Each structure stands twice: as structure tokens, then as C-alpha cells.
Amino acid sequence: MHQRNGIRGPVRLILAVFVVAALATQLAACSDDSSPSDTASKAASAVSQAASAATQAGDALASATAEAGRKFDEFKGGVDAKDEVKLDGNASPDSDGRATVKVTVTNPTSSAKSYVVQVDFRDQSGNLLDTTVVTVNDVAGNGSKDATARSNRSLTGDVKTTVARAVRH
């Protein structure tokens, strides 16, 4: 399900580039500066580059999702703690263009615990753009601790964040 939603964004990108390339072909046909075959070649190249970018984005998302699964598999016997984790609003870009969001973990037990938190980054339509796992160690009993979730790659637009899952151990 995540993979299907994650692919929808790159497919839209490919379609958008194809439409732009087709329009460019039509406009260039009215120009004396280049031949229709030159314009068609440039349009095909643009579509090919967009398809390559979409494939790379899909591969990066699949890799991030697999890595999140591996990290959660390492913590056997953990307790579901999704309700003990809050995110501080929507993501904002850091200096590298990667989306970041403040993660606050509140430990309701009487002893120190560690948490593994998966944060999903989604676009306005709910399509999965990226996912990352944050480990928050040694959260004091009846206390809280902050961390930062950072996307694995640069994300653009209005990026929403959600806690996909969290485990206390």
C-alpha cells in the first residue's frame, strides 16, 4: 500500500513532463530556430530524464521503507508506543533541503526507556514521499525527550508528517 502511494507522485511527474514536452514540441514547430526533429529529440530526452528521476525517487523510497522495517525488527518484545510520540507540526526544510520535524517522546512509565519511532513524510495528497526512523534513548521515567526526524533526501512542497509507528523498550 505504501509503495503504491509512493509511486503515484513520480508517475504524476512523468505525465506532467510529458505534457510539457508535447507542448514544447507544438510551440517549437511554430519557431524558425529549430527543426521539428530537434524539438522532438529534446522532448524525448526531457521525458527520459523525468522517468529516470521518478525511478530513482521510487528506489530511494523503497530503500528507506526497507531500512525502517529492519530497524524495527531489531527491537523484539517492544511495546506499541505510538500514542506516546508527538510531532511538532509540519516538516520544514533544513539547509540541505531535507525535511525535518521535531519529535517529542513522553515516557509514562516509572523507569527510563528507549524508543524507536518511524516518521512518514507525505505530500498534500497523502502520497508517501519518504520515511525515516529515529531512536530516542534513555527517556527518563515520567519524563519526555525531544529528537529530530530528518528525511533521507531533499523534499519540496508542503510536506506533512505522521508517526507511522513507535515502539518503547
What ranges do the domains of the chain cover? 2-73, 79-168
Kindly report the pTM of this predicted structure.
0.63
- Burial of residue 27 (CB within 10 Å: 0-12, 13-18, 19+) is exposed
Burial readout 34-60 (b: 16 or more C-beta within 10 A, e: otherwise)? eeeeebbeebeeebeebbeebeebbeb
At 92 the pLDDT is 94
Which stretches of the chain drop beneath a pLDDT of 50? 1-7, 11, 14-15, 19, 23-31, 39-40, 42-43, 45-57
As a whole-number percent, the residues of the chain with pLDDT over 70 amount to 56
- Domain covering 79-168, topology: Immunoglobulin-like (2.60.40)
Question: What DSSP character marks residue 88?
Answer: -
Q: What is the pLDDT of residues 70-112, one digit of tens each?
A: 766 776 678 999 999 999 988 999 999 999 999 999 999 999 9
SS3 (DSSP) at 145 = strand
